[in-house]
Amino acid sequence: MSNSAPAPSSTPTPDAHSPATPPASAASSASAASASPVLNAEERALVAGPAVAIVATLEPDGRPQQSVVWIDLDDDELVFSTTRARRKASNLERDPRASILVMAEGDADRYLEVRGTVTLHDDTDRSVVNALARKYTGGDFGGDGPGAQRVTVRLRPTTVRRKG
């Protein structure tokens, strides 16, 4: 293996790995994949429980960025909270495509991968972050730093894959 990789370009070229080119739909190697963007009852129960969730966004150069988040479901959308200053928020404002991996608590063989597009909404009354905190900790969210602008991120599924 050579250590001389080409220097990164300041202007990315569209290809299969570029954020400018949406990925083509492909069959999943997971035990189940649904073409329907609506979660079934078992999938909804997994998201509604105290699951571990990891959101993946795209950096400006196309590299993935991942963060652990508290997750819940509102109608057919997965919902999490962040602040505008966080990298995931700026990535999602620039490119709304995201993937969220939701794992059952204590069972890494039972999980969902939900891909879709997001919308960001101001959470000025902190109702969403407090609801998430109550779900995961039993109490309201402790607070952000001074001047933090809390936002709710809503992912509408386009692809749902599950295992277990």
Q: pLDDT tens across 105-159, in order?
A: 889 899 999 999 999 999 988 899 999 999 999 988 987 778 889 999 999 999 9
Q: In 3-state terms, what secondary structure has residue 32?
A: strand
pLDDT tens-digit map of 6-34? 343 333 333 333 334 343 333 333 444 44
Per-residue model confidence (pLDDT) at position 128: 95
Per-residue model confidence (pLDDT) at position 8: 38
Per-residue model confidence (pLDDT) at position 88: 97
Q: Tell me if the domain spanning 35-163 has CATH number 2.40.40.20.
A: no
Contact criterion met (CB below 8 Å) for 88 and 120: no
For residue 71, CA distances in Å to 38, 102, 148, 155 come to 16, 8, 20, 11
Lowest mean pLDDT across 11-15, 31-35, 49-53, 72-76: 11-15
| Farthest-apart Cα atoms in the chain, separation | 53
Contact criterion met (CB below 8 Å) for 55 and 99: yes
Q: Each residue of 50-65: b (16+ CB within 10 Å) or e?
A: ebbbbbbbbeeebeee
Lowest mean pLDDT across 3-7, 79-83, 116-120: 3-7
Q: In 3-state terms, what secondary structure has residue 18?
A: coil
Better-predicted residue by pLDDT, 36 or 26: 36
In this prediction, residues 99-106 reach a mean pLDDT of 95
Per-residue model confidence (pLDDT) at position 74: 94
Contact criterion met (CB below 8 Å) for 62 and 91: no
